[in-house]
Chain A
Amino acid sequence: MNNLTELANKLLGDGTATKVIGYEEAHGKTRPCFCTEAADTGRLVLDERCTNNIAVYLTKPEIVGGHKVAVTATLPVLRTMVQLAMENQLPDGTTAIVSTESGEGLAVLPTVGDMERVVAGTPLDISGKERELRERLKAMSREERWQFWLGEMSRCIKCYACRAACPLCYCTRCIVDNNCPQWIQPWASPLASMEWQISRVMHMAGRCVACGACKQACPMGIPIHLLTLSLAEDIQNEFGVAPGSVMDHGNVLSTFKPGDKEDFIR
């Protein structure tokens, strides 16, 4: 029995949690796994192969309803949990199980405050390959960039996998499901897909934790996470709020600080 299983059993045993959401091994990769009793916990793993953002399940009543949940959290998952807590979406009593900094041991974070401290101590780092692609896009002219995205969007099949995978897309009724008015054209065409992506990105402003779940879920391999990343970067430059960092009050776009830039007013 490994440490993770032991810890999960302990949490399930002492009533801290009635359900553990984590990862299990499958086909040489990992996939989400839900454990409600000790018999299941043997399958749990938590390593660098765990890339899905399982915080997405925390806003699903059919999964968390009536349960006290413990989540085996990677750093992006932890960031998401903190953001969800800020948006009143983290179910009461949710705990996080994380690997300690050394990578050897495990720790339980029982409160949002504990999660915040861990998140605040590890600033977001965007990896080399992502950065490269982003720089390449930035170097393009406005027209080139538009053409690039139109090209990418022409491959979109409007499956909304990006929406399903994103842990912060938790609305009961998404605006694309509304037809009075029909905000966004429902079919898949380059412009219609662009409309959807622009709305999605704007809704993520100041909220996206840059976990990359949207890109991972896209069956067409469109690098849509670059849109939210780039917005997150703008927000950081304009308002000094890094993606995934904790604001004491509200969203960066819904609050005003006397120090906010006003250079757009001419």
Chain B
Amino acid sequence: MSKIGVFICHCGENIGATVDCAKVAEAAASMEGVAFATDYKYMCSDPGQTLIKNAIREHRLDGVVVGACSPRMHEPTFRKACAEAGLNPYLCEIANLREHCSWVHPKGDDTTEKAIEIVHGLVEKVRRNSPLTPIHVPITKKALVIGGGIAGIQAALDIANCGHKVILVEKEPSIGGHMSQLSETFPTLDCSQCILTPRMVEVAQHPNITLYTYAELDSLSGFIGNFEAKIRLKAKSIDESLCTGCGLCTTKCPQKKIPSEFNAGLGRRTAIYVPFPQAVPNKPVIDKEHCTHYRTGKCGVCEKVCPTHAIRFGQEDRIINEQVGAVVVTTGFNVLGTDFFPEYGYGRYADVITGLQFERLASASGPTLGEIRRPSDGKVPEKVVFIACCGSRDPAKGIPYCSKICCMYTAKHAMLYQHKVHGGESYVFYMDIRAGGKNYEEFVRRAIEEDHVNYVRGRVARIYEKEGKLIVKGVDTLLGATPVEIEADMVVLATAGVSNQGSEELAQKLHISYDPYKFFAEAHPKLRPVETNTAGIFVAGACQAPKDIPETVATASGAAAKVAALFSQPDLVREPLVAVVNRSAPPVFSTCVGCFMCQTACPYQAIEREEIKDRSGKVIKVVAKVNPGLCQGCGTCVAFCRSKSIDLQGFSNQQMFAEVEALLETTN
């Protein structure tokens, strides 16, 4: 005979105003197996919890039903209270009288009746509950960071500095990401490379960091604390242990006209190349798509000139397995190209460039060594128009969001132009100036007031070429929508920040969610900004949404702190609500017939084969076995098992059946 305690919470007015809580408690007291029932104003409060604890001790309760808010809210609270009173926490169940009853029905007898039925269902379930103990799972204290931009660099360094091993994977030949392409950074105008490259070197030299460049994640399996990552190391076609990074091969390569990704297409590179002189690692890779040897089987100049004979044309992609406990995704973003905008020439005008291209023009390491020269003829432009919100905040273009960084970098671009081209004239067309951030507004004011950048509030309708000039036609909405026409030498489009190529595939490999724009989704936008819905996988930086450098670094450090917190525990404690295959006495051993249909149904690869052997080691029977570390308790296998040989702990068939039967019974 059970001795169940039923505790009905008024939740202030939330339940009490709609449901007659005293009547529910009274009805519960007469239910079979109930030894004690009462109601109280705030069951989750300290006196409420004490009431439950005292009742457990006094009446020697062997089960508790709390009729209160959703179990999502206070199940842990009440289970903890029960545990403190010596009752196994899994013998405590929550009857959801708030979300399932009082909030969705008007005050009345029927509502109270429904509350009684819900409680009855849970009482019947608790009668069949068994005590459960949490599962302990070991943690592999090694993190995988995907993406070697500033976010990945920061996260990797922070985790490594906590004393944990880190694997940093970057798909390009060098780490550095977009930040390495930038000229100066707002709002301080310090040189991007000057602050970034020391960090890049630190990553390469850190004893706790293993760096894999020119590598991509192939697949990820497992679960928090116990992931297995397959990483594809793309063939660099060189032997890195022999290469000294002398760069002779890159000077001799006959393929010299390949658009440089690092220079956003404004410069050229060779087929065997180092993306930029400060690259980490500073060793070349061969771009198989453009290399003459790979295309025609001829050439091989690099192989001939290499003083250390490090060229390996026959090298193949390698896949390595790494065991990791946590994953930080920092794959960054991209910007739209000028060809996305028909009204601005569809990318046909060489002197209509993106903000990223302007960064390369303004950068000391860029194709013009930092001089502002327009791409078409190399002339110094006398008049430059900057257009903000190109694509961003434009639902018609499918990008309703604000790209966030453009207001600031456009102000910076105009400022840099004014600093570099004395007497030059610059115009910024904008919708709004969003300069929220430390010293940001002051920065924009400086551009306007000290550097005399002309800010025009309005949109540009069209750009066309006329006698070597770009005619920019727009309006000034602050002057009553007066048409404005500017004959510019160069136009810079602040094109929208978009998710990186391949982000959708990566999200699917990692089983993390993403938004309609293929940016990765955080578990909660405010309170869990660097976690994903998949435990053990974290996100940081511009792969979540466009972010500036300070915010990117902050989220990266945040994600690193989450990883460090996870790794600070000796092992992982998991809820014991997992599936179990039944076992029984010989000669049956288990009602499982070993058809292993569950194995294919399980989304977490948690089902294994177990051989039952006799004393001589002969296999008597092969049955399914659930790995409790992998099982997420979804119950798919339970539903799929024809002989009902698998059951979910805490939600067993018998418990659920009793609960449903009780609900149906009282209705009749």
Binding site for B on A (CB under 8 A): 87-89, 170-175, 178, 180-181, 183, 203, 249-251, 253-255
B654 at the interface (CB under 8 A from A): yes
Chain A residue numbers with a CB within 8 Å of B601 are 250-251, 253-255
The answer to whether B622 and A88 touch across the interface, beta carbons within 8 angstroms, is yes
A172–B644 touching, CB < 8 Å: no
CA distance A255 to B592 in the complex (A): 20
Known interface pairs A170-B593, A172-B591. Does A180 touch B654 (Cβ–Cβ under 8 Å)?
A: yes
Which residues of chain A have C-beta atoms less than 8 A from B622's C-beta?
Answer: 88
Inter-chain contacts of A254 with B (CB < 8 A): 597-598, 600-601, 640
Partner pick for B644 among A89, A175, A250, CB 8 A cutoff: A175
Q: Which 4 A-B pairs have the closest CB atoms?
A: A250-B600, A181-B657, A254-B601, A171-B643
Which residue of B has the minimal Cβ distance to A199? B642
Extra pairs beyond A87-B597, A173-B645, A251-B600 (14, CB < 8 Å):
A87-B596, A88-B595, A89-B593, A171-B591, A171-B642, A172-B592, A173-B588, A180-B654, A181-B658, A249-B600, A250-B597, A254-B597, A254-B640, A255-B601
Please report the C-alpha to C-alpha distance between residue A180 and residue B622 in the assembled complex, in whole angstroms: 25
Please report the C-alpha to C-alpha distance between residue A89 and residue B598 in the assembled complex, in whole angstroms. 15
In Å, the complex CA distance between A183 and B658 comes to 11
Question: Does B338 belong to the interface (CB within 8 Å)?
Answer: no
The residues in B between 550 and 605 inclusive whose CB is less than 8 angstroms from any CB of A are: 588, 591-601
In Å, the complex CA distance between A250 and B595 comes to 9
With contacts defined as CB atoms under 8 Å apart, how many contacts are there between chain A and chain B in the complex? 55
Complex-state Cα separation, A174 to B597, whole angstroms:
16
Q: Which of A87, A172, A253 has the most CB of B within 10 A?
A: A172
| Interface of chain A, main secondary structure | loop
Residue of B nearest to A255 (CB): B600
In the complex, which of the residues B588, B594, B653, B657 contacts A88, with contact meaning CB atoms closer than 8 Å? B594
B653 & A181 in contact (Cβ 8 Å cutoff): yes
A170–B622 alpha-carbon span in the complex (Å) = 15
Across the interface, B593 reaches (CB within 8 A) one of A172, A180, A250, A251, namely: A172
* Cα–Cα, bound, A178→B642 (Å): 12
- A175 interface neighbour in B593, B600, B643, B661, Cβ under 8 Å: B643
Please state if A171 and B593 are interface contacts (CB–CB under 8 Å).
yes
- Which residues from B are CB-within-8-Å of A174? 643
Interface contact B642-A203, CB-CB below 8 Å: yes
| C-alpha gap A247/B588 in the complex (Å) | 29
Q: How many residues of B contact A (CB 8 A)?
A: 23
Q: Which residues of B contact A89 (CB under 8 A)?
A: 593-595
Q: Is the CB of A250 within 8 A of B599?
A: yes
Interface residues in chain B, defined as those with a beta carbon under 8 Å from any beta carbon in chain A = 588, 591-601, 622, 640, 642-645, 653-654, 657-658, 661
Known pairs A251-B597, A251-B600; A175 contacts B658 (CB<8 A): no
Which residues on A sit within 8 Å (CB–CB) of B592? 172
Bound state CA distance, A174 and B643, in angstroms?
Answer: 6
- A90 and B597 alpha carbons, distance in the complex (Å): 15
A11 to chain B, nearest CB (A): 25
Contact at B642–A175, with CB atoms within 8 Å? yes
Closest to B591 in A: A173
B642 touches A87 (CB 8 A): no
Q: Which of A173, A180, A255 has the most CB of B within 10 A?
A: A173
Contacts of B657 in A (CB 8 A): 181, 183
Give 29 CB contacts A-B under 8 Å. A87-B596, A87-B597, A88-B594, A88-B595, A88-B622, A89-B594, A89-B595, A171-B591, A171-B642, A171-B643, A172-B588, A172-B591, A172-B593, A173-B588, A173-B645, A175-B643, A178-B644, A180-B654, A181-B654, A181-B658, A181-B661, A183-B644, A249-B600, A250-B599, A250-B600, A254-B597, A254-B598, A254-B600, A254-B640
In whole angstroms, what is the CA distance A255 to B600 when docked? 6
Q: Residues of B contacting A172 with CB < 8 Å?
A: 588, 591-593, 643
- Cα A99 to Cα B661 with chains together (Å): 54
A254 and B654 alpha carbons, distance in the complex (Å): 24
A115 to chain B, nearest CB (A): 18
Residues of A within 8 A of B598 (CB): 254
Please name all residues of chain B whose beta carbon is closer than 8 Å to the beta carbon of A183 when the two chains form the complex.
Answer: 644, 657
B599 surroundings in chain A (CB, below 8 A) = 250
Min CB distance B407 to A, Å, is 40
Cα A88 to Cα B645 with chains together (Å): 16
**A residues less than 8 Å from B658 (CB atoms):** 181
> When chains A and B are docked, how far (Å) is the Cα of A253 from the Cα of B639?
11
Question: Chain B residues near A255 (CB, 8 Å)?
Answer: 600-601
- Would A88 and B643 count as touching, CB distance under 8 A? no
> Residue A173 contacts which of B594, B595, B643 (CB distance < 8 angstroms)?
B643
* A178 vs chain B, min Cβ distance (A): 6
CB distance from B591 to the nearest CB of A (A): 4
Q: State how many angstroms separate the Cβ of B88 from the closest Cβ of chain A.
A: 21
Partner of A87, one of B591, B595, B643, B661: B595
Within the assembled complex, what's the spacing in Å between the Cα atoms of A166 and B77? 51
Q: CA of A171 to CA of B600 in the docked complex: distance in angstroms?
A: 19
Residue among A88, A178, A183, A203 facing the most chain B CB atoms (10 A cut-off): A88
CA distance in complex: A180, B584 (Å):
15
* Alpha-carbon gap, A172 to B640, bound state (A): 16
CB distance from B382 to the nearest CB of A (A): 55
How far is it, in angstroms, between the C-alpha of A173 and the C-alpha of B642 when the chains are bound?
10
- Nearest-neighbor residue (CB-CB) of B599 within chain A: A250
Q: Complex formed: what's the CA distance from A175 to B643 in Å? A: 6
For A84, the closest partner residue in chain B by CB is B595
A14 to chain B, nearest CB (A): 25
Bound CA–CA A170/B642 (angstroms): 10
Tell me which residues across on chain B come within 8 A of A170, comparing CB atoms.
593
Residue of B nearest to A203 (CB): B642
Contact residues in B for A203 (Cβ distance below 8 Å): 642
- Distance to closest chain B CB from A55 (angstroms): 15
Inter-chain contacts of B597 with A (CB < 8 A): 87, 250-251, 254
What is the CB-to-nearest-CB distance from A155 to chain B, in angstroms, rounded to a whole number? 26
When C-beta atoms are compared, the residue in chain B nearest to A251 turns out to be B597
B645: which A residues are within 8 A, CB to CB?
A: 173
Chain B residues, CB < 8 A from A87: 595-597
Of all chain A residues, the one with the shortest Cβ separation from B600 is A250
Q: Point out the residues of chain A lying under 8 angstroms from B594, CB to CB.
A: 88-89
* A89 to B640 alpha-carbon distance, docked (Å): 17
Q: How far is the CA of A78 from the CA of B640 in the complex (A)?
A: 26
Give the complex CA separation of A173 and B599 in angstroms. 20
Query: Residue on B with the closest CB to A169?
Result: B642
Minimal beta-carbon separation of B649 from chain A (angstroms): 16
By a CB distance below 8 angstroms, the chain A residues around B588 are 172-173
Contacts of B653 in A (CB 8 A): 181
Q: How far is the CA of A172 from the CA of B596 in the complex (A)?
A: 14
Give Cα A250–Cα B600 distance, bound, in whole angstroms: 6
Closest-by-CB residue of A relative to B642 is: A203
